[in-house]
Amino acid sequence: MSDDGRPLAPSEMAVWHALKRLSETALSLVGADIEAASGLSGADFGILSRLEDLGGGTLHQHELAKLLGWQKARLSHQLTRMQSRALLRRDCPAAGIGVQVSILQAGRDAIATARPVHAASIRQHVLRHIREKEARTLVDVVQRLKGAEAGPGGAPRRKS
C-alpha cells in the first residue's frame, strides 16, 4: 500500500473501515458482557487488569496512562469515577514521585468476576470467527504497526 498523501483507493478505504469495525464491534460486545457480569465498564476492566497484571496491584499514574495509550485528563477522570466506587485509590508518596494508583479489594473482586467472562466473550464474539492462519496474520500486522510507532533504533517517533 502506498505511503503518500493521495486519497485512499476504494480497496484501501475498505481495509480501513474493516479494521475500525472489527475493533469497535469486538470492544463493544466484550465490554457489554463484562459490564453485565461484573458492573465494570471496558475502561474499568482495562485499568484494573493492568494494575494486577503489570504492577502487582500498583502502578504510577503516568505509567498507567502510557500503558493504556490515554491522555492524562481522560485517565484522571476515569480514575476519579473508579475511586468513588472504591475500586482503587490514588496516593501521593512522600518522596514526591508522582501519583500511585492501587487496586482495592472491591476492584480485585470485580476483576476476578470479570476475567472468565472476558475470556469467554472474546472466544464467542471474535476468535470463533477467525481461522488460525488469519489470527497469525492479524498478530503479525499489529506487531509491524507497533514497530512503525518507533523511529530508527526503536526510539519513539516525534509527533509533529
What are the residue ranges spanned by the domains of the chain? Answer: 15-149
The candidate with the shortest Cα–Cα distance to 126, out of 49, 27, 43, 37, is 27
The residue whose grid cell reads 469486538 is 26
The residue that leads in pLDDT, 159 or 86, is 86
- pLDDT of residue 157 exceeding 70: no
**Residues 79-121: pLDDT tens digits?**
999 999 999 999 987 777 789 999 999 999 999 999 999 999 9
- pLDDT of residue 159 exceeding 50: no
Q: Tell how many helices (H) and how many strands (E) occur in the chain.
A: 6, 3
Tell how strand 58-60 and strand 88-91 pair up: unpaired
Predicted confidence at residue 148, as pLDDT, reads: 79
Predicted confidence at residue 147, as pLDDT, reads: 83
Q: What is the CATH architecture of 15-149?
A: Orthogonal Bundle (1.10)
Q: Read off the pLDDT of each residue in 121-132 and give the average, rounded to a whole number.
A: 96
Phi and psi based region of residue 118 (left: phi greater than 0; alpha: psi -120 to 50; beta: remaining): alpha
Predicted confidence at residue 151, as pLDDT, reads: 55
**Residues 37-87: pLDDT tens digits?**
999 999 999 999 999 999 899 999 999 999 999 999 999 999 999 999 999
